[in-house]
Amino acid sequence: MDIKEYIESGILELYIYGSLSAKENEEVYEMLQKHPEILVEVEKIEATLDQLSAASTTKELSKLYDTIAAKIEANEQVPVRTLARKRSNLPAYIGWAASIALLVGLLSQINKNNKLREEIVSTQIKNQVLEGEISVKEENLKSAENLLSILRNKDIIEVPLNAQAVDPSAYATVYWDKEKDLAYIDVQGLPAPPPGKVYQVWSLKLQPLTPTSLGILEAYKENKNKVFTVENTNDSEAFGITLEPEGGSESPTLEMLYTLGAVES
């Protein structure tokens, strides 16, 4: 490229004006780097425009600098404070530490809370079981009290039944309520019947010996008091309990007579 022609084109004046595009500016910049004579021309143009623009000033401006410097000082107050804040990260660290501590605390509280909930649930289950047990016991107590009140009735006839040859340790008691035609058989003293066998209660007339079945003691295991209630409309003279095959027998199997007792007259 002809340097002189380039200078004569007038592009350098526009370059100093600032009226070229960014791309054109870069092109001129490259030319300046390569060709010192172009740089010389640029500096001449700049010096001319420097004078021209400075000559358009209508005021003495040296005092204005103090105002500008003061404004910069004022603006710097903000960044300085920011720096001071940055320098000390302690509040931030404390903040983070506090947050972490709080988080750990919360997690442990949640953990504790869960454990407590579990404990509450298991306690509730235990309570329910205990309540169940209590209600069973209350029921048992009621039936026992009921039984006691029956046995204490003065009209009840108590008939102790004594052990026989089969089992010398066996004993039982019959409480007979003649008014109500009921007999309460207390078999606490009898061994539990072997599988396939049941106890059967007999009302006896002695002269001649006539047994009448009062019934078998069903659900023997389930009856906790081991006091069974049977109907007795007979004019009984004695009571006996035999061990019979399941379902009971027509007449007592005397070899299996466990207890026997006569009614006092």
Partner 1 sequence: MQPTELIIALRNKDKKAFEEIYKLYADNVYGIVFNILRNEDVSEEVTQDVFLKIWEKIDSYTEKKGRFFTWVLNIARNAAIDKTRSKGYKKSGGNLSTENFVDILEDKTNFNAKVDSIGIKKFINGLEPLCKKVIDLLFFKGYTQKEASEELEIPLGTIKTRNRICIDKLKKVLAV
Residue (23 or 221) nearer to partner 1, CB: 23
Q: How far is the CB of 12 from partner 1 (least distance, A)?
A: 8
Residue (7 or 170) nearer to partner 1, CB: 7
- Contacts with partner 1, 54-73, as mask; x by CB under 8 A: xxxxxxxxx-xx-xxx-xx-
Residue 8 within binding range of partner 1, rule CB under 8 A: yes
Closest C-alpha to 145, from 220, 231, 225: 225
Residues forming beta bridges with residue 162, ordered by sequence position: 260
Residue (17 or 93) nearer to partner 1, CB: 17
The structure tokens 């010398």 sit at 168
Q: How far is the CB of 37 from partner 1 (least distance, A)?
A: 15
Residue 238 within binding range of partner 1, rule CB under 8 A: no
Amino acid (one-letter) located at 39? L
Residue 136 within binding range of partner 1, rule CB under 8 A: no
Q: How far is the CB of 34 from partner 1 (least distance, A)?
A: 14
Rg of the chain on CA atoms, in Å: 60
**Binder among 47, 97, 110, 206 for partner 1 (CB under 8 A):** 47
| CA 168 to mean position of chain CA atoms | 58
**Cβ neighbour number for residue 159 with a 10 Å cutoff:** 19
Q: How far is the CB of 70 from partner 1 (least distance, A)?
A: 10
Closest C-alpha to 259, from 190, 206, 177: 190
- Which span sits near partner 1 by CB under 8 A: 21-29, 123-131, 214-222, 236-244? 21-29
Closest C-alpha to 158, from 146, 175, 181: 175
Residue 53 within binding range of partner 1, rule CB under 8 A: yes
Q: How far is the CB of 97 from partner 1 (least distance, A)?
A: 36
Torsional sign, CA 252, 254, 257, 263: positive
Tally DSSP H helices, then E strands, for the chain. 6, 8
| Beta strand pairing call for 210-216 and 227-231 | unpaired
Residues in touch with partner 1 (CB under 8 A): 8-11, 13-20, 22, 25-26, 29, 42-62, 64-65, 67-69, 71-72, 75
